Amino acid sequence: MNSTTNFFKSIRFRIALVFVLLMIIALELLGAFFVRQIERQNLTTFQQQIALPKYVTDQITTALKKKDSNE
């Protein structure tokens, strides 16, 4: 029992604990960064997919109007 309490009070344990906590914080920050980047990319892709059919419809409508006016 005494050796267990001495282990938790030792400098080795404290250094290891600080290292582990810093690693956890770094991984959380990195994960948050990647999630934000993926969210932006997915939002941009979604907006492009929504805008593309409108662009195609406008182009087809314009081409058909030009064809009708030429005839």
Tokens for 58?
């406008």
**pLDDT at residue 62, as a whole number:** 87
For residue range 30-51, what is the model confidence (pLDDT) as tens digits?
A: 999 999 999 999 999 998 888 7
What's the pTM? 0.60
Per DSSP, the residues of 8-70 read HHSHHHHHHHHHHHHHHHHHHHHHHHHHHHHHHHHHHHHHHHHHHHHHHHHHHHHHHHHHHHH
